[in-house]
Structure 1
Amino acid sequence: MTSVTEYDYQSDRYVLRPGVGAEQVDGVALGLGWELVREIPRDKDEGVDGQLIWLGAGDVSLHYVVDATSGIGYVLLAGPSRPAVEPFVGPVVDRLRPWTLPELFELLDEADQPRERVRNTLRIGLAASAEFDKEVFRRISGTYTDGEDQVRLAGLWAATYTGYRQFLPQIREIASHDQVEWIRSRAESIAAAFESEDDAR
């Protein structure tokens, strides 16, 4: 599951629009006077997200992440506490203009091509807030009865991005009853990952 674990607090993920990438995020960081301190190449085969990290005042950092699985880019801010991080969220969002969840909901609702449904399902999962969002849950859940295998798979991945345990009964249902063996297998692995996180708490 996608996370930044070495920080006490991190913002939501802000999913970037096409054409907005490392160069634009670097421009925002330079405008803040922040220094690039780390670069991690993306490795899809190993499940490693690509990351560029800029460090600013008070140990607050700006992260440009390219998700290992989907290749979708997003930014987040992280630091020692919410009060330390929050003042920087507005300026970053204003400059980068990431997708909003209502925009992504509309794109998914209107998508008539499987590729569009896949892409926007994954974007919704990445853009979901840490707190349970019923509209996110409804949109992702809706993919589980899609006739296209890749869309159902995208819904499984999107659930992992949210971390919402509320998806577990549906994922278990897919693991037992989906008509495609490799989707059943993937759902089983994802359900086990959710359950192992529960056991670790």
Structure 2
Amino acid sequence: MLRADDGETVAERFAAERDWDLIARDVADPERGAELEVVWATDGPVTFQFQEDHVLNEGYVYLAGRDRARVERLEADLTGSLDLWSRDELLREAARHDEGPARGRAILRAGLGAPMEFDHEFYDLITGAMRSGEPAMRAIGIRACAYSPVAEYRPTLEELARNDAEQEIRDLARATLRAFDEFEVGS
């Protein structure tokens, strides 16, 4: 997760400083669920990508490629060069807000910035939101778990899909479970 207000400019500058070639730029279209996405070819078989989440209106960057060693080298450069939210900062920011929109944004940001492997603290934060007495917070929790899907979210999603009092929450949980199935998350 980038801290900058204009993440696209930050990502463009980072790529330009390394002479990486722009290979794609897809304009955001929230109505069809498409986010702003910009992709650069690095000097190896890895791409550097920027996306702007249309719910948070915040940008994030990531690397994609099969060359694990190359990804790790570039990741070290990326984390050393860009102003990113750290794991601990994401968790502290969520803990700092007890309720309301600021807490919701912090939980969504934490979901987006969470590791792609299971992390107990992020899991506790996000499932806590999914079990909230407030339907809006439950929806935020479901969206947050979809950003960094791990199998451990499945039981809570299944419970919400079956038994939540709100149809909208049941539908959102079912849709998220379908996405988990499609990407073979915990199935």
Per the normalisation by structure 1, the TM-score is 0.83
Say which of 108, 129, 152 aligns to 1:122. 108
Secondary structure of the corresponding residue to residue 121 of structure 2: helix
How far is 1:120 from its partner?
Answer: 1.4
Secondary structure in 2 aligned to 1:45? helix
Task: Give the deviation of 1:68 after TM superposition.
Answer: 4.1
- SS of equivalent residue, structure 1 residue 76: strand
Matched residue type, 2:176: I
Amino acid at match of 1:71: N
1:57 counterpart SS class:
coil
> Paired residue for 1:190, among 171, 176, 181?
176
Question: Which among 27, 40, 50 is matched to residue 41 of structure 1?
Answer: 27
Code of the aligned partner of 1:106? R
User: Where does residue 18 of structure 2 map in the other structure?
Assistant: 32
The 5-angstrom pairing of residues 32-181 of structure 1 reads 32-181=18-167
Q: Deviations over 1:67-117 (max 9, x none)?
A: 244433100012231112221212222222210111111111111342112
How far apart, CA to CA, are the structure 2 residues paired with 1:196 and 1:63?
A: 23
Structure 1 SS opposite 2:33: coil
SS at match of 1:137: helix
Distance 1:21 1:196 in 2: 30
**Structure 2 portions without partners, runs of 5+:** none
Q: TM-score, normalised by structure 2?
A: 0.89
Distance 2:81 2:67 in 1: 23
Query: Which amino acid in structure 2 is aligned with residue 186 of structure 1?
Result: L
Code of the residue aligned with 1:117 in structure 2: it is: R
Provide the identity percentage: 29
- Conserved? CA contact 1:172–1:187, under 8 Å: yes
The aligned amino acid for 1:50 is L
